[in-house]
């Protein structure tokens, strides 16, 4: 930087304003040269490497310190050098990817503490959500009667200050089709840095069989792209006499599972920015066919802003189960249909060993609390012709509740033969 005037105040103010652009890096301007008339004064930008002595992490919501400190496990012993700013940005993005309750990058400040020590403060704004929710579906049967079904969920987060998440889900299609699921997630088990997920699932399917499944996942490692898990699952299927007559046979299975998760949604309820990707690969053994099998799952949801208040949302739901040899049993095939997988059709209306459902939604946001949706779903599955549905919906969110109602019609069906999907959420 060069100056033609030796006015020290002007030089100081100019250099100070230039240094403001370096948010974290410890930069300084050093006098490098000047002529005999004290003109043509030159300053050179240089970096001064210094160590950060103290790191303080704060949270707007109470989290026990023995768990909160793991958020900064890999940012200790830092030096402020030329790579410091990019390093901090990667770590902030990693926090957003790893922790389900962090939706915005943390605020980071560098300053001088007592004793001329350099300190860094990381300020978290957790977005914990505790709520009850329900999803209900209705379709018109022959005549004027309606068939109703639904599910009830509850979600509790950070109840004990350990950043944990507990979910309960009960789904009722009819008296012969019900399921119950409970899951627990801990980003850090006890005082270790290891993340853990546990899940238990029980279901009755068409009064043909019951299935009990248990799974556990341990976080292997994570970075700003997402989190990787290695896990184990096992399940038992017990057929009824009615199920045996329909070729639904009893079996049990065990499998190793490998999971990748990425979630950059800007909020849990009614997001409109970010992406969510879940990939799961299982390899295990099925007792009925006495053969190894693989099961893969890929779910993706992504938002893209098109114009001002208009967003596109792309959803992709893909699932496959395949033995190395032979054919997988009917009781192990994948059920799909309904609000969570294929709108316009009944819940679990279809079963297949390989399926793919693609959805395109157009969201028109009237304001932050009200949204209009139009959508089309395309379903492809083994042993089925391609199927399509289309529909529209309305969403309304407030500080205490969310209501989302959608109406979907299979392509080729009369408009009155569509299916209503209603979702409500009550915050606690």
pLDDT, one tens digit per residue, over 402-417 is 899 999 999 988 888 8
Q: Among 17-26, 111-120, 309-318, 412-421, whose mean pLDDT is lowest? A: 17-26
What pLDDT does residue 201 have?
A: 96
What pLDDT does residue 139 have?
A: 60
Paired strand residues for 230: 218, 258
pLDDT, mean of residues 411-428: 86
Angle in degrees, CA 65, 67, 72, rounded to 5: 90
Asked if pLDDT for residue 316 goes beyond 90, the answer is yes
Asked if pLDDT for residue 375 goes beyond 90, the answer is yes
How much is the mean pLDDT over the chain? 86
CA dist 218 and 225 (Å) reads 17
CATH topology of domain 50-124: Ubiquitin-like (UB roll) (3.10.20)
CA dist 193 and 227 (Å) reads 13
Asked if pLDDT for residue 25 goes beyond 60, the answer is no
Asked if pLDDT for residue 372 goes beyond 90, the answer is yes
CATH topology of domain 131-427: Porin (2.40.160)
Burial, 290: exposed, middle or buried (Cβ in 10 Å; 0-12, 13-18, 19+)? exposed
CA dist 412 and 193 (Å) reads 54
Asked if pLDDT for residue 420 goes beyond 90, the answer is no
Asked if pLDDT for residue 10 goes beyond 60, the answer is yes
pLDDT, mean of residues 335-363: 89
Asked if pLDDT for residue 138 goes beyond 70, the answer is no
Question: Would you place residue 323 in the very low, low, confident or very high pLDDT band (cuts 50, 70, 90)?
Answer: very high
Radius of gyration of the chain from its Cα atoms, rounded to whole angstroms: 28
CA dist 104 and 268 (Å) reads 12
Cβ proximity of 395 and 402 under 8 Å: yes
Cβ proximity of 382 and 350 under 8 Å: no
pLDDT greater at residue 121 or residue 16:
121
Q: Is the pTM of this model over 0.85?
A: no
Paired strand residues for 412: none
């Amino acid at each position: 930087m060069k100056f033609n005037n030796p006015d020290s105040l002007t030089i100081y103010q100019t250099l100070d304003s230039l240094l403001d652009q370096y948010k974290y890096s410890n930069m300084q301007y050093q006098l490098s040269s000047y002529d005999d008339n004290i003109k043509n004064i030159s300053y050179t930008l240089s970096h001064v490497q210094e160590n950060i002595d103290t790191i303080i992490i704060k949270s707007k919501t109470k989290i026990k310190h023995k768990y909160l400190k793991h958020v900064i496990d890999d940012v200790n012993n830092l030096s402020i050098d030329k790579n410091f700013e990019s390093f901090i940005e990667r770590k902030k993005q990693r926090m957003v990817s790893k922790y389900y309750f962090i939706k915005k990058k943390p605020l980071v400040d560098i300053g001088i503490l007592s004793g001329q020590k350099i300190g860094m403060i990381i300020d978290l704004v957790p977005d914990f959500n505790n709520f009850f929710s329900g999803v209900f579906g209705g379709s018109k049967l022959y005549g004027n009667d309606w068939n109703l079904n639904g599910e009830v969920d509850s979600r509790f987060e950070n109840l004990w200050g350990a950043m944990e998440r507990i979910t309960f889900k009960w789904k009722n299609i009819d008296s012969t089709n019900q399921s119950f699921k409970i899951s627990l997630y801990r980003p850090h088990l006890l005082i270790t840095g290891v993340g853990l997920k546990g899940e238990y699932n029980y279901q009755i399917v068409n009064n043909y069989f019951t299935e009990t499944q248990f799974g556990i996942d341990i976080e292997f490692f994570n970075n700003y792209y997402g989190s990787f898990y290695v896990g184990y699952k096992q399940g038992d299927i017990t057929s009824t006499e009615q199920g045996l007559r329909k070729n639904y046979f009893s079996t049990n299975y065990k499998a190793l599972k490998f999971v990748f998760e990425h979630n950059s949604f800007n909020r849990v309820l009614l997001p409109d920015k970010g992406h969510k990707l879940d990939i799961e690969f299982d390899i295990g053994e099925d007792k009925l066919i006495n053969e190894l099998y693989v099961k893969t799952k890929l779910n993706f949801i992504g938002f893209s802003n098109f114009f001002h208040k208009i967003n596109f949302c792309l959803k992709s739901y893909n699932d496959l189960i395949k033995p190395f040899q032979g054919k997988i049993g009917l009781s192990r095939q994948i059920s799909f249909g309904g609000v969570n997988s294929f709108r316009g059709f009944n819940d679990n209306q279809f079963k297949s060993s390989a399926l793919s459902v693609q959805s395109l939604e157009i969201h028109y946001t009237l304001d932050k609390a009200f949204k209009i949706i139009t959508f089309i779903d395309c379903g492809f599955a083994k042993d089925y012709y391609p199927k399509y549905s289309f529909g529209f919906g309305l969403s309304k969110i407030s500080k205490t509740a969310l209501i989302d109602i959608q109406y979907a019609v299979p392509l080729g069906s009369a408009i009155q033969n569509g299916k209503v999907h209603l979702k409500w959420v009550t915050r606690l």
